Amino acid sequence: MFVNRATLIGFLGKDAEVRYTRNQTAFTVLSLATKRSWKNRETGEYESETTWHRCIAWGSRGEFAAKLLKGAHVQIEGEIRSREYNNGDAKRTVTEVRVLNTSKLDRPVKADLKGAAA
């Protein structure tokens, strides 16, 4: 059995971007930042590294993802995909996550209860 599944939890670096294929099929592109931290054994200082992930959502998943804004805390589950394309004379390879599920992890804003009748 083979499994190609990734689960990422991070923050969006910019608002979701809706794009269209040549056939006018809509899809949503998400730019997701994940971060890892560790303690440097030599200096004792904490260090961190941010990795950016390009995530593509199609269909109803794309419709949900299109509403997400910069800074949103989300969990994305999907398949890792690579594709190649030609950019002039150079061949380019892009690695993306094809979104299968998106969960918004932000806590809802609490209503301001000041001035409410007791």
pLDDT at 57 over 90: yes
Radius of gyration of the chain (CA): 19
Position 38: which residue type?
A: W
CATH of 6-104 given 3.90.110.10, 2.60.40.10, 2.40.50.140, 3.40.50.150: 2.40.50.140
Residues of the chain with pLDDT > 70, as a percent, come to 91
The three state secondary structure string of 10-53 is EEECCCCEEEECCCCCEEEEEEEEEEEEEECCCCCCEEEEEEEE
- For 93-114, what is each residue's pLDDT tens digit? 999 999 999 999 977 666 555 5
The domain segmentation of the chain, as residue ranges, is: 6-104
What are 117's two structure tokens?
């009748």
Distance CA 75, CA 85 (A): 28
Q: Which DSSP symbol is given to 2?
A: -
pLDDT bucket at 88, cuts 50 / 70 / 90: confident
- For 13-26, what is each residue's pLDDT tens digit? 999 999 999 999 99
pLDDT bucket at 118, cuts 50 / 70 / 90: very low
Contact between 68 and 76 (Cβ < 8 Å): no
